[in-house]
Structure 1
Amino acid sequence: MEENNVWGTELEIVACADLLKTDIYTFYNNSWIKYSSSQICSNNFVNDQAIYLQHNGDINHYEVVTAVKQKTIDMSPNGLQSRQEHEKKYEISRKSEVTTKKMKIDEDQMNDFLNNTESKVFKK
C-alpha cells in the first residue's frame, strides 16, 4: 500500500485490527462496518478503544474520523425537514492529526509476540 493507486481491502483492515487488537470501524454508504480481531479468533482480547475511518468510494481512500455525532433535525416553520438534513444524517469531522494511546508492554511480552508471529509466518 505504499505504491500509488494501491489501497487496503477488507482483508488488510481485518489483519490490521487483529495485529493492533483494536476494532476498526469504516463509515460507508451512511452506515458503519466493524472489523475486529474477534472475527479471526473469538477468544482474542480486543482493546476498548477503536479506530474510525471514513471510506471515500470515489477515490478508494480512507480518512481518519475524530468525531461523530448524529445531526439534529432542523424543522422549517411549515414542519418539513430541509432536504439537506434529510439526505445527510450524520456529520463527520476529520482532522489530519490522530491521537494515540500508549500501551505498556514489557520486553518479554514483545519478544514472545514477535517470536510467535515469526513462527507462524515463516513456518515450513
Structure 2
Amino acid sequence: MLKIKCFSFFPASSLQCYTCTSQSSNTNCMVPTNCSASDTSCMTSVVAGGIGGFTMSTITKTCEAICKESGLNAGIVSSKVSCCSTNLCNTSGASSIKSTYIILVVALGFLVTLLRQ
C-alpha cells in the first residue's frame, strides 16, 4: 500500500490587525501586526473626555482572542470598543471619535447651561 504525505509550502496565515497604544490620532494607529494563532478579532478602543472646552481622545488597537463590543457615556468621559474579524479591518477610529465628540459637545453644552443658571 502506497502512502502519500501532503505538505504545504504556505504557512497558515494568522489574522492581521492594526495596532497602537493610547494614541491621540488614528494616523498613528496604522501599524499592521500579525496576530497570534489564538487571536480571532481586531479591537479598537476609543476613550474621550473633556471639561471646560478641552477635549482629549485616545485610540488603542489590538489583536484579541475574545473581543466584546461596548460603549459607555459617563458625562464628561465616554468610551467605545468595536470588534471585527477580517484582516486589517480596524482601519479607522474616526467614526468612533466623531460620535464621541458629539456626545461630549452635548454634555458640555448641558453643563454650561447649568452653570449659567
With the length of structure 2 as denominator, give the TM-score of the two structures.
0.22
Greater per-residue helix proportion = 1
Q: Which has the larger radius of gyration?
A: 2
Q: Which has the higher contact order (CA 8 A, sep 6+)?
A: 2
With the length of structure 1 as denominator, give the TM-score of the two structures.
0.22
Greater per-residue strand proportion = 2
